[in-house]
């Protein structure tokens, strides 16, 4: 079974600054996906960024980037130039890379509440 751990229950950052959210995971799988999801007060789950484990290059999406360390089983999210709209709960998630009906099942971390201050 996989586990995902987010050790920062809450984080805060000033607008325009950079913040890094931590995530570690444990798995015996070699092929998998990792995700960061944003959940604003509306509760809608919004995909922020995705990383395939077989790719060594860290994924980036505009102001969002990850530091993926496969050997250390670490997957942190860096948000640059933080904006007020980034205020939300952020979840790190793991998904196996395999076929079958369980494919698509996500294991989530505990979440980190990020507050961006003006």
Q: Which residues contact another protein (rule: CB under 8 A)?
A: 33, 35, 42-45, 47, 50, 52, 89, 91, 95, 97, 101-111, 113
Q: Would you say 59 and 66 are in contact if contact means Cβ atoms under 8 Å apart?
A: yes
DSSP 118: -
Task: Return the number of the residue (11 or 89) whose C-beta is nearest another protein.
Answer: 89
Minimum gap (Å) between residue 84 Cβ and another protein = 20
Task: Return the number of the residue (15 or 26) whose C-beta is nearest another protein.
Answer: 26
Minimum gap (Å) between residue 42 Cβ and another protein = 8
Residue labelled with tokens 């960024």: 49
CA distances from 5 to 53, 61, 89, 103 (A): 17, 23, 14, 21
Minimum gap (Å) between residue 11 Cβ and another protein = 14
Quickly count: other Cβ atoms within 10 Å of residue 19's Cβ: 20
């Amino acid at each position: 079974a996989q586990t995902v751990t987010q050790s920062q229950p809450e984080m805060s950052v000033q607008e325009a600054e950079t913040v890094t959210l931590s995530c570690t995971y444990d798995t015996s799988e070699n092929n998998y996906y990792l995700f960061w999801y944003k959940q604003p007060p509306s509760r809608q789950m919004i995909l922020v960024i995705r990383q395939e484990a077989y790719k060594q290059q860290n994924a980036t999406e505009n102001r969002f980037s990850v530091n993926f360390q496969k050997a250390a089983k670490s997957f942190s999210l860096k948000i640059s130039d933080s904006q007020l709209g980034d205020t939300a709960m952020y979840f790190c998630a793991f998904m196996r890379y395999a076929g079958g009906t369980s494919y698509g099942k996500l294991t989530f971390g505990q979440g980190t509440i990020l507050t961006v201050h003006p």
